[in-house]
Amino acid sequence: MPEFMYAATSPAEDLKGVTLERYIRSEELKHPGARGFFSRLVSQICLAAKIINAEVNKAGLVEILGLTGKKNIQGEEVQKLDEYANEVFRRALDHTGYVSALASEEMDEPYLIPGDFVDDGQYVVVYDPLDGSSNIDVNVSIGSIFSILRRRSPGNGPTTMEDFLQPGAAQLCAGYVIYGSSTMLVYTSGRGVHGFTLDPSVGEFFLSHPDIQIPPRGRIYSINEGNSAYWHDEVARYIAHLKAEDKASGRPYSGRYIGSLVADFHRNLLKGGVFLYPGDKKSKTGKLRLLYECNPMAFIVEQAGGAATDGTRRILEIQPGKLHQRVPLVIGSRDDVAEATRFLQGEAG
């Protein structure tokens, strides 16, 4: 059905099938005074996603086409896919005029966009360009994660580290792209969570999952059980609880762990459940990064009715101390996260 048949003010369900750009624009029109910056930013992220998607789909051909981190047929060093994805994001975002700096898992320090390309640098963007990249070689779903923040320092002065080190509650928009059996972009700007599926035949994302709500309780747990030798007792007791039979409360749960945060999170978002990457005796703060892995997912899950904690604090309230900071993560269905928290705090089990 042609897009123009939908009214801009229709509820999300009625907008099913519209393009991502049209959807964001219609949201923006609801805010008098909005200058369209935001929709252009998300459009650029959408472009980056399409380019990365095209390369990810060729991943099985990397030995032939390059992007291996090895030498190509001419004997030249070729880029790894995660470094390539980082470059794609950088180029998609460095000429918008509204972004003053970028930070990414692939860059030790923020990338400050040259002043010539910044008219009104109100925003900074943090991203993980290709999360779960150890799964590329085995054709398992991977993803990109992003988060948009408004700068705290004055728009015309230099970007400071404080512009990045904001609690997740300050995020204006966060999302991820999953390169799976189909490619989807899921995002929130604080007005619900919406999922768009890429139609590869026309190269557009269409609204396919309006207003996603995570079930209040699921029957899936996701954790790397290979780390169980290092788990604290509280974590071990919680996982044992989920595996014990109790028909009334739907236990035992199913264990599902892909090893790609985006894919594990996406499944649990749609089906319900809990994902944990806890701190343990080996890695005190777990593995996942606060700014561009945990915060975006926490914003999304809360908007979908779920919850995210590090075991003691709401993820979105943590004041980051450094750019690449790691935090323990427990995220998913509201009641599952509440129960996990009771175990982790020693109040249950």
Which residues sit at the interface with Mg ion, rule CB under 5 A?
Answer: 128, 131
Indicate the SS3 state at residue 337: helix
**Alpha helices (runs of H) in 94-195, residue ranges in sequence order:** 161-164
Question: Site for ligand AHM (CB under 6 A): which residue of 260, 268, 309, 333?
Answer: 260
Please report how close the Cβ of residue 149 comes to ligand AHM at its closest, in angstroms: 20
260 binds, among Mg ion, ligand AHM, none (CB under 5 to 8 A by kind): ligand AHM
What strands, in cross-sheet order, belong to the sheet with 274-277? 254-255, 220-222, 274-277, 329-332, 307-309
Interatomic CA distance for residues 309 and 3, integer angstroms: 39
> Residues 123 to 162: which contact ligand AHM by CB under 6 A?
128, 131-133
**Greatest CA span in the chain, whole angstroms?**
63
End-to-end Cα spacing for the chain: 54
234 binds, among Mg ion, ligand AHM, none (CB under 5 to 8 A by kind): none
Please report how close the Cβ of residue 142 comes to ligand AHM at its closest, in angstroms: 8
Q: Nearer Cβ to ligand AHM, position 20 or 330?
A: 330
> Residues 56 to 115: which contact ligand AHM by CB under 6 A?
105
332 binds ligand AHM, rule: CB under 6 A:
no
44, containing H or E segment: helix 37-57
Closest CA to 265 of 165, 169, 343, 193: 193
Please report how close the Cβ of residue 262 comes to ligand AHM at its closest, in angstroms: 7
Which segment (18-26, 56-64, 202-210, 258-266) binds ligand AHM by CB under 6 A? Answer: 258-266
224 binds, among ligand AHM, Mg ion, none (CB under 5 to 8 A by kind): ligand AHM
Indicate the SS3 state at residue 71: strand
Query: Are 23 and 173 within 8 A, CB to CB?
Result: no
Q: What are phi and psi of 160, to 5 degrees?
A: -115, 165
Q: Nearer Cβ to ligand AHM, position 37 or 257?
A: 257
Which residues contribute to the site for ligand AHM (CB under 6 A)? 105, 128, 131-133, 224, 259-261, 287
